[in-house]
Amino acid sequence: MGIVHHSRYFPYLEEARVAYLRHLDHPYQEWQAAGLNAAVLEVALRYRQPLRFDDEVDVHLVVASATRTTFQMAYLLTVGNAPAATGVTVHGLITESGRPVRLPDWLIALAQEPVRRAR
Protein backbone atom coordinates (compact mmCIF):
# COMPACT_ATOMS: atom_id res chain seq x y z
CA MET A 1 0.00 0.00 0.00
CA GLY A 2 3.05 2.28 0.17
CA ILE A 3 2.36 3.31 3.76
CA VAL A 4 4.01 2.40 7.04
CA HIS A 5 2.15 -0.41 8.85
CA HIS A 6 0.47 0.81 12.02
CA SER A 7 2.58 -1.49 14.23
CA ARG A 8 5.82 0.09 12.97
CA TYR A 9 5.06 3.43 14.67
CA PHE A 10 6.03 1.99 18.08
CA PRO A 11 9.74 1.66 17.23
CA TYR A 12 9.75 5.38 16.33
CA LEU A 13 8.56 6.14 19.86
CA GLU A 14 11.12 3.85 21.47
CA GLU A 15 14.01 5.22 19.44
CA ALA A 16 13.01 8.81 20.28
CA ARG A 17 12.66 7.93 23.98
CA VAL A 18 16.13 6.39 24.12
CA ALA A 19 17.65 9.36 22.24
CA TYR A 20 15.87 11.79 24.57
CA LEU A 21 17.30 10.10 27.67
CA ARG A 22 20.76 10.19 26.11
CA HIS A 23 20.24 13.91 25.36
CA LEU A 24 19.45 14.44 29.06
CA ASP A 25 22.71 12.69 30.08
CA HIS A 26 20.77 9.74 31.52
CA PRO A 27 21.20 7.10 28.79
CA TYR A 28 19.18 3.94 29.10
CA GLN A 29 22.40 1.93 29.50
CA GLU A 30 22.93 3.82 32.80
CA TRP A 31 19.55 2.55 34.00
CA GLN A 32 20.35 -1.00 32.95
CA ALA A 33 23.76 -0.87 34.65
CA ALA A 34 21.92 0.04 37.86
CA GLY A 35 19.66 -3.01 37.38
CA LEU A 36 16.63 -0.95 36.33
CA ASN A 37 14.26 -1.00 33.37
CA ALA A 38 11.41 1.28 32.30
CA ALA A 39 8.61 -1.15 31.55
CA VAL A 40 5.91 0.02 29.16
CA LEU A 41 2.62 -0.15 31.05
CA GLU A 42 0.38 1.54 28.49
CA VAL A 43 0.63 2.89 24.96
CA ALA A 44 -1.83 4.88 22.87
CA LEU A 45 -1.46 6.19 19.34
CA ARG A 46 -3.68 8.35 17.20
CA TYR A 47 -2.98 8.11 13.49
CA ARG A 48 -3.64 11.43 11.76
CA GLN A 49 -1.95 11.05 8.35
CA PRO A 50 -0.21 7.94 7.05
CA LEU A 51 3.55 7.76 7.01
CA ARG A 52 4.83 6.74 3.61
CA PHE A 53 7.90 4.83 2.53
CA ASP A 54 11.01 7.05 2.79
CA ASP A 55 9.28 9.87 4.71
CA GLU A 56 11.60 11.76 7.01
CA VAL A 57 9.80 11.64 10.34
CA ASP A 58 10.54 13.95 13.27
CA VAL A 59 9.47 12.74 16.69
CA HIS A 60 8.89 15.47 19.27
CA LEU A 61 8.46 14.34 22.85
CA VAL A 62 8.12 15.53 26.39
CA VAL A 63 7.82 13.98 29.84
CA ALA A 64 4.16 14.83 30.34
CA SER A 65 3.67 13.67 33.91
CA ALA A 66 5.33 11.67 36.66
CA THR A 67 4.33 10.17 39.97
CA ARG A 68 6.58 8.46 42.48
CA THR A 69 6.49 5.24 40.45
CA THR A 70 5.36 5.99 36.88
CA PHE A 71 6.04 8.51 34.15
CA GLN A 72 4.19 9.41 30.99
CA MET A 73 5.73 10.60 27.74
CA ALA A 74 3.80 12.40 25.01
CA TYR A 75 4.83 12.27 21.34
CA LEU A 76 4.10 14.15 18.15
CA LEU A 77 5.28 12.58 14.89
CA THR A 78 5.55 15.00 11.99
CA VAL A 79 6.55 14.94 8.34
CA GLY A 80 7.58 18.46 7.45
CA ASN A 81 5.13 20.61 9.38
CA ALA A 82 2.26 18.14 9.08
CA PRO A 83 1.28 16.05 12.09
CA ALA A 84 1.26 12.34 11.26
CA ALA A 85 0.48 10.84 14.68
CA THR A 86 0.26 11.60 18.37
CA GLY A 87 1.00 9.15 21.12
CA VAL A 88 1.45 8.54 24.82
CA THR A 89 3.44 5.89 26.66
CA VAL A 90 3.26 5.18 30.38
CA HIS A 91 6.24 3.53 32.07
CA GLY A 92 7.00 2.03 35.42
CA LEU A 93 10.53 1.70 36.73
CA ILE A 94 11.30 -1.87 37.79
CA THR A 95 14.25 -3.94 38.97
CA GLU A 96 15.57 -6.91 37.00
CA SER A 97 13.30 -9.13 39.09
CA GLY A 98 10.26 -7.03 38.14
CA ARG A 99 9.88 -5.22 41.46
CA PRO A 100 8.58 -1.63 41.09
CA VAL A 101 10.86 1.12 42.39
CA ARG A 102 10.61 4.85 42.95
CA LEU A 103 11.53 7.14 40.07
CA PRO A 104 14.70 9.21 40.37
CA ASP A 105 14.16 12.84 41.39
CA TRP A 106 15.55 14.19 38.09
CA LEU A 107 12.83 12.36 36.16
CA ILE A 108 10.02 13.59 38.39
CA ALA A 109 11.41 17.13 38.08
CA LEU A 110 11.27 16.93 34.26
CA ALA A 111 7.50 16.58 34.37
CA GLN A 112 7.25 19.70 36.53
CA GLU A 113 9.38 21.89 34.22
CA PRO A 114 7.93 24.05 31.49
CA VAL A 115 7.87 22.12 28.22
CA ARG A 116 11.38 21.06 27.31
CA ARG A 117 11.40 20.05 23.69
CA ALA A 118 13.73 17.53 22.09
CA ARG A 119 13.76 16.17 18.56
Predicted confidence band of residue 61 (pLDDT cuts 50, 70, 90): very high
**Rounded mean pLDDT of 9-29?**
95
Q: What's the confidence (pLDDT) of residue 38?
A: 94
For the chain, give every domain's residue range. 6-112
Residues 6 or more apart in contact with residue 59 via CB below 8 angstroms: 12, 13, 15, 16, 75, 76, 77, 119
Percent of the chain with pLDDT over 70: 94
- The DSSP secondary-structure symbol of 103 reads P
Helix (H) / strand (E) containing 49: none
- CATH 3.20.20.80, domain 6-112, yes or no: no
Angle (CA) 18-21-27 rounded to 5° is 85
Determine the straight-line distance between the first and last CA of the chain, rounded to whole angstroms.
Answer: 28
pLDDT digits (tens, 9 = 90+) for 65-99: 999 999 999 999 999 999 999 999 999 999 999 99
**Is the pTM of the predicted complex or chain greater than 0.85?**
yes
